[in-house]
Amino acid sequence: ADSIPSLAKLTTSVGLIVIISLFMRGVGRRQSRTYTNMINALMLAKTNKSTDALRRFDIDFAAWPVDFDVKTLAGDAKKPTNTSSSCADWSLAKLPYELIAYVAIHTFGLSMIYPGSVKLLQKFMAPALISGRAKLIEDDNGIRYKVKTIDSNEIDTLFIDNRNDNVGNGKTLVICSEGNAGFYEVGIMGTPIALKYSVLGWNHPGFAGSTGQPKPDQDKNAIDAVVLFAHNHLGFAIEDIILYGWSIGGYSTLFAASLYPEV
């Protein structure tokens, strides 16, 4: 009973420290011209959909407005895909294995297959991702876009437009799909950039700025949305697109190639 007042004092003290810290942070941000300009640019982007001013800042991508939504495409006829039913060859003898597999993939399995989706790894790599993205934007004139998929995931993409380079391969777009621990900020985009192609990088669902989880169906919808974005928003003909992937990104690449054989 004697410990209750002490616990109440401790809780109150911690609460006051948190409140004062949040208040001081708010005051500091309000007095920062850079932060105020960023907030104004964000509000402008959300009201009139113009992200030109916002592109001067590297902000939490969750706050970034959607630049392209697959659902807005009128009459977009999806190509049918052949998927085998998981119950086709189900039997009672396989039930224990199915249960073990289900528990494994929904606990540690997905993180082992796609370590890039692990938040701890993303936090550790955050400085490298910010630095790599800044280099792509500042040195290669990259433009960041948010693409919304048919299942409402938001995909973090970055586009480098070399179509005005008459001596290079800029009329052709290379879509880069990274590996299971790869991010476009520090991935394979460097090779096609060096060859003066136009390049579009993207992060798998659950990786860095992309929402969702790197499950097969979500990954399929993500690469489909990226190709549609390249064609409908960026203006590249399907036959002028090259699909380039490595490691688990080869899965995304092959699926997109099956959907769009013209690439």
Q: What is the mean pLDDT of residues 103-110?
A: 72
Residue 83: inside a domain, yes or no?
no
The b/e string for 195-221 (b: 16+ C-beta within 10 A; e otherwise) is eebbbbbbbbbbbbbbbbbbbeebbbb
Q: How many Å apart are CA 168 and CA 76, to the nearest integer?
A: 33
- Do 60 and 178 fall within a single domain? no
Instruction: Assess whether 143 and 233 both reside in one domain.
Output: yes
Considering the domain architecture, whether residues 61 and 131 belong to the same structural domain is answered as: no
Comparing CA positions, the residue from 254, 182, 262, 206 lying closest to residue 230 is 262
Region of poorest pLDDT, from 80-94, 124-138, 164-178: 80-94
Residue 35 in contact with residue 29, Cβ under 8 Å? yes
| pLDDT tens, residue by residue, 183-224 | 999 999 999 999 999 999 999 999 999 999 999 999 999 999
> Containing domain of residue 164, as a range?
92-259
Give 82's contacts (C-beta < 8 A, 6+ positions apart): none
How far apart, in whole angstroms, are the C-alpha atoms of residue 259 and residue 170?
24
Mean pLDDT of 54-68: 88
Q: Tell whether 101 and 60 lie within a shared domain.
A: no
Residue 76, pLDDT above cutoff 60: no
Q: Write out pLDDT tens, residues 139-192.
A: 999 999 999 999 999 999 999 999 998 777 999 999 999 999 999 999 999 999
CATH number of the domain encompassing residue 154: 3.40.50.1820
55 and 98 co-located in one domain: no
In the chain, which ranges are continuous DSSP H helix? 3-31, 33-48, 95-104, 110-113, 119-140, 190-194, 216-232, 249-259
Q: Are 223 and 255 in contact (CB under 8 A)?
A: yes
Together in a domain, 179 and 254: yes
Query: 126 with 169, same domain?
Result: yes
Average pLDDT value over all residues in the chain: 87
Of the chain, the percentage scoring pLDDT greater than 90 comes to: 57
Residue 193 lies in a domain: yes
Residue pair 240/172 in contact (Cβ under 8 Å)? The answer is yes
Is residue 98 located within the same domain as residue 23? no
Is residue 25's pLDDT more than 90? no
Whether residues 131 and 219 share a domain: the answer is: yes
Pairwise CA distance, residues 175 & 180, whole Å: 16
Q: How far is CA 102 from the centre of its chain?
A: 26
